[in-house]
């Protein structure tokens, strides 16, 4: 290639990389995932986007003072305060994870095809989200909460 072509290619690559760095720094959402419950599904909007219809949820558990120990590499992001991505977790197998490291309480949501481990910044917020999801799932009760 001609020298001018290389200059254009490198300029484009540098510009794109610079844009991505700036966009990530000014992002107003610094959390593993924004989770929303509507009438039909739970929506995880983060590094991994997913919609889980309530009818597909086979089990949901609230784990108090648990530990998420990964047993493989993380295909995702790990920041100082939280982790999100795909990984293997001891005791759960392959999972999608969206969790704050400082909060030992988390929700385990299982479907036929996947397991999701999720929490909010605080135990109170996590339990509130668990109750909200649980309220949308037919024929579920407080028996799922583990003490």
pLDDT given at position 46:
77
User: Taking a C-beta distance cutoff of 8 angstroms, is the pair 95, 86 a contact?
Assistant: yes
pLDDT over 60 at 25, yes or no: no
Q: How confident is the model at residue 143 (pLDDT cuts 50, 70, 90)?
A: very low
With 0.85 as the threshold, say if the pTM is over it: no
Distances from the Cα of 94 to the Cα of 69, 105, 112, angstroms: 12, 19, 13
How far is 53 from 102, CA to CA, in rounded Å?
Answer: 29
């Amino acid at each position: 290639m001609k020298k001018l072509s290389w200059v254009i290619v490198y300029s484009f690559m540098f510009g794109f990389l610079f844009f991505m760095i700036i966009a990530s720094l000014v992002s107003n959402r610094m959390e593993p995932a924004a989770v929303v419950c509507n009438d039909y599904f739970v929506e995880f909007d983060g590094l991994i986007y997913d919609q889980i219809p309530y009818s597909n949820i086979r089990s949901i558990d609230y784990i108090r003072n648990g530990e998420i120990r990964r047993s493989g590499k993380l295909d995702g992001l790990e920041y100082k305060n939280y982790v999100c991505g795909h990984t293997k977790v001891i005791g759960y197998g392959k999972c999608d994870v969206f969790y704050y490291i400082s909060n030992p309480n988390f929700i385990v949501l299982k479907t036929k095809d996947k397991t999701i481990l999720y929490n909010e910044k605080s135990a109170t917020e996590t339990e509130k989200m668990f109750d909200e999801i649980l309220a949308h799932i037919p024929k579920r009760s407080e028996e799922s909460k583990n003490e």
